[in-house]
């Protein structure tokens, strides 16, 4: 079985700081995603990528950059952290071929706190 790993698990940043979150998967999945989840709420799509070097914006892309230099990895950058921001960032991957193969496998999340 494969695994999807997010680093770091916890991230404390300062207001205005640029922060980078990393995600690696060994499922050989084509498509990878970054979602933001605020406490007890649903998932909002920030960026996704259907293949190496591809980037697609989600509804929440403002304030974020992403990079997919290898098929197995997808990184997300918070370009300027907002004071008192607190959220969980979830990385996911899928085969992305549609239909029954569209389900996601999620990483364990990066918990961000900005002070």
Residues near other proteins (CB under 8 A)? 31, 33, 35, 40-43, 45, 48, 50, 56, 58, 90, 94, 96-100, 102-104, 106-109
CB atoms within 10 A of CB 27: 15
Q: Which is nearer to other proteins, 74 or 107 (CB)?
A: 107
Q: Which is nearer to other proteins, 17 or 43 (CB)?
A: 43
Contacts of 16 (CB under 8 A, 6+ apart): 80, 81
In the bound complex, what is the minimum distance in angstroms from residue 38's beta carbon to other proteins?
10
The residue length of the chain stands at 115
Q: Which is nearer to other proteins, 17 or 30 (CB)?
A: 30
CB atoms within 10 A of CB 42: 7
| 48, burial (CB in 10 Å: exposed 0-12, middle 13-18, buried 19+) | buried
In the bound complex, what is the minimum distance in angstroms from residue 15's beta carbon to other proteins?
26
Q: Which is nearer to other proteins, 1 or 42 (CB)?
A: 42
Distance CA(69)–CA(24), nearest Å, equals: 11
In the bound complex, what is the minimum distance in angstroms from residue 57's beta carbon to other proteins?
11
In the bound complex, what is the minimum distance in angstroms from residue 13's beta carbon to other proteins?
21
């Amino acid at each position: 079985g494969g695994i999807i790993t997010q680093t770091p698990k916890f991230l404390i940043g300062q207001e205005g700081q640029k922060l980078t979150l990393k995600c690696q998967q060994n499922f050989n999945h084509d498509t990878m995603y970054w979602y933001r989840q605020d406490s007890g709420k649903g998932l909002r799509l920030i960026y996704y990528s259907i293949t190496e070097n591809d980037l697609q914006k989600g509804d929440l892309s403002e304030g974020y950059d992403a990079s997919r230099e290898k098929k197995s990895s997808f990184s997300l950058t918070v370009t300027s952290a907002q004071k008192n921001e607190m959220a969980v960032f979830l990385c996911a991957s899928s085969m992305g071929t549609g239909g029954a193969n569209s389900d996601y496998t999620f990483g364990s999340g990066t918990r961000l706190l900005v002070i």
